[in-house]
Amino acid sequence: MIEVRPASGDDAAFVLATMLQTWESPLVAVHGELIDVTTLPALIAWESGEQVGLATHRPHPGDSSWEVVSLHAVVAGIGAGTALLDEVARLARAAGARRIWLVTTNDNVAALRFYQRHGMDLVALHRDAVTEGRKLKPSIPHEVDGIRMRHELELEWLL
């Protein structure tokens, strides 16, 4: 069974290691902004005493929404991503948010499938946003699995 709880100071190494393993940096370039996820509220998924997933998020009070900035299932297929997304939704609802949203890239078909299976709707395509993001973070790959990484796709879940 997956347990999700807020990250504590003891989890800082896991947060950083997860971001380095996944993105080679704790910095995420998204919607024209460079975000250091180690400065954001984080949730950790646990199974049998092991850390198996990470989500970082931030509120956007101006539009009553919460943004999921990063979501990583370190161990795939055991429900860590689902548990983390559900906990972000629970916290967002409790804080009065009306929607959760996130951005992924056009090449990330596994993420698109996951988010849509969990009730999120594709609401925007930000054409060439990743191309622009490379100005902030040049290490963003140009292609993954033969798919050119160029666009940001915005998905939302109305609460």
Mean pLDDT, the chain, whole residue set: 96
What's the rounded mean pLDDT across residues 53-78? Answer: 95
CA dihedral sign, ordered 26, 12, 97, 70: positive
DSSP bridge partners of 135: none
Please give the residue range of the domain that contains residue 32. 3-158
The answer to whether 57 and 67 have CB atoms below 8 angstroms apart is: yes
Query: Mean pLDDT throughout 3-13?
Result: 96
Query: For a pLDDT cut of 70, what percent of the chain falls above it?
Result: 100
pTM beyond cutoff 0.85: yes
Q: Residue 159 — very low, low, confident or very high, per pLDDT cuts 50/70/90?
A: very high
| In the predicted structure, residue 61 carries a pLDDT above the cut 90 | no
Domain CATH for 22: 3.40.630.30
**Six-digit token pair at 53?**
């997933």
Sign of CA dihedral 8, 12, 17, 20: positive
pLDDT per position as a tens digit, 90-128: 999 999 999 999 999 999 999 999 999 999 999 999 999
How many domains are contained in the chain? 1
* CA 150 centroid distance within chain: 18
The span from the CA of 26 to the CA of 39, in Å, is 9
3-state helix vs strand vs coil in the chain, percent to 5: 30, 40, 30
For residue 75, the Cα-to-chain-centroid distance in whole angstroms is 15
Position 75 scores a pLDDT of 87
